[in-house]
Amino acid sequence: MNKQNYIQDIIEKTLAKCLTWVQKIDDGLDLFIDPNDGEEISAHYGATHAAASFIIWGKETDNEELYNKGMSLLHSILKRWDTSKQLPAFHYDFNNFALCLVVDYVDDKTKALIQKTVCDTSDSNHYTINWLPMRWMVNKTRFEWTSNSKYHDIINRCKKTITK
């Protein structure tokens, strides 16, 4: 097996396992359940990153079922976003980053909702070095959407901090 096939096999196995952690609740929303704790991962970034993975890999491999599961999870996340971001462990930079990654893989209505959500959501107030590249990318994306110079200022602050 060559490296590309080996990596693709690992991705497929990982996604298949992660799909088992998506559960539909009574109101029809999909939740991403932590297999160890048995609770939804809403404040953290597991759900947004799983949805992004399902959407991107589903689209890139023409796996409509995986793509649709990602979209269902994404819509569930967006529906509950304002509540989730009030939780103390909400990872702003990680969650915004995942939304920015999928914006070009979704329909126009979802794209508009993602853009509004990301622009209405704060950045993290942590300056952890591995978070800053995500914040940089999110603010670059916000700048591309809005041309608002405040996002360019944030990009420059991230760049200076990373360089230091």
pLDDT by residue (tens digit) across 39-57?
Answer: 888 778 999 999 999 999 9
SS3 category, 116:
helix
Q: In the chain, what's the furthest Cα-to-Cα distance?
A: 50
Tokens for 123, please give them: 């950045």
Q: What is the mean pLDDT of the chain?
A: 95
d(CA 108, CA 106): 7
Question: Is the Cβ–Cβ distance between 121 and 92 less than 8 Å?
Answer: yes
d(CA 87, CA 89): 6
Query: Helices 132-146 and 108-120, interaxial angle, to 10°?
Result: 120
State the DSSP code for 122.
P
Instruction: Please list the alpha-helical segments (H only) found in the chain.
Output: 3-19, 46-60, 64-79, 81-84, 92-102, 108-120, 132-146, 149-163
pLDDT at 1 over 90: no
Mean pLDDT, residues 21-36: 90
pTM of the entire predicted model:
0.94
Alpha-carbon separation of residue 98 from 24, 27, 53 (angstroms) = 21, 25, 9
Question: Tens digits of per-residue pLDDT, 93-149?
Answer: 999 999 999 999 999 999 999 999 999 999 998 888 999 999 999 999 999 999 999
